[in-house]
């Protein structure tokens, strides 16, 4: 929601896509811009910044580094989502359009987007999240007009994150809902 409030053009484009009579789970799966927004949000703001450590089962070489057998390996999901060699020249910018027409998905088939981990140790909540996040976001955007309290400028919203077991905004987002007219 913070990214949508900061990017009114993206919010308006999503609203146009949501002008359907009923948004259910099957319909949400067929809305490309809604799903692009979810992927872009999970890229920039993954639920966890570091995946639990894994142990190397054998020695290997990766990018000119030798990883010895038995070494603990931690994957930094937050850094992968901001890697300029993967995400063009401006990886810190919220641009859902980068996922339109892309086959990149967060179900660990594409290792540049792994907010829920991958393989046998993937987050067991991923299937539920993959269904609910688009539905909840669609309902919030479609049924309410959102505004910031005290005429705060959306460009000045604090986007700093608090690192911990789960990633969260340092300062919580506060919005005022008003019933939508469409």
Radius of gyration of the CA atoms of the chain, in A: 18
11-30-131-2 Cα dihedral, nearest 10 degrees: -10
pLDDT value of position 182? 60
Give bridge partners of residue 50 from the DSSP assignment: 76
- DSSP reduced 3-state for 85: coil
136-141-145-147 Cα dihedral, nearest 10 degrees: 80
pLDDT value of position 108? 67
What whole-number distance in Å separates Cα of residue 67 and Cα of residue 5? 43
Where do runs of H (alpha helix) occur along 45-125?
77-80
* pLDDT beneath 50: ranges in the chain: none
What is the domain extent for residue 77?
Answer: 2-179
Domain count within the chain: 1
pLDDT value of position 163? 81
pLDDT value of position 181? 63
Q: Which residues are annotated as a binding site?
A: 123
Of 132, 43, 33, 23, whose CA–CA distance to 84 is shortest?
Answer: 43
Q: pTM of the entire structure?
A: 0.90
pLDDT value of position 141? 94
Q: Which residues are annotated as a binding site for heme?
A: 123
Q: What CATH number has the domain bearing residue 91?
A: 1.10.630.10
In sequence order, what are the residues at sequence separation of 6 or more whose Cβ sits closer than 8 angstroms to the Cβ of residue 15? 141, 142, 182
The 8-class DSSP code of residue 97 comes to G
């Amino acid at each position: 929601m913070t990214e949508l409030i900061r990017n009114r053009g993206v919010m308006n484009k999503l609203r146009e896509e949501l002008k359907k009579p009923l948004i259910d789970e099957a319909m949400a799966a067929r809305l490309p811009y809604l799903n692009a927004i979810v992927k872009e949000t999970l890229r920039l703001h993954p639920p966890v910044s570091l995946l639990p450590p894994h142990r190397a089962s054998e020695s290997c070489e990766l990018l000119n580094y030798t990883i010895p057998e038995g070494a603990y390996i931690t994957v930094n999901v937050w850094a992968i989502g901001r890697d300029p060699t993967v995400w063009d020249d401006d990886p810190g910018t919220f641009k859902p359009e980068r996922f339109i027409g892309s086959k990149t998905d967060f179900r660990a088939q594409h290792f540049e987007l792994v907010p829920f981990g991958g393989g046998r140790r993937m987050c067991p909540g991923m299937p539920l999240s993959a269904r609910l996040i688009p539905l909840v976001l669609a309902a919030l955007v479609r049924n309410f007009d959102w505004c910031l309290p005290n005429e705060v400028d959306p460009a000045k919203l604090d986007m700093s994150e608090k690192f911990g077991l789960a990633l969260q905004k340092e300062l919580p987002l506060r919005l005022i809902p008003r019933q939508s007219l469409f």
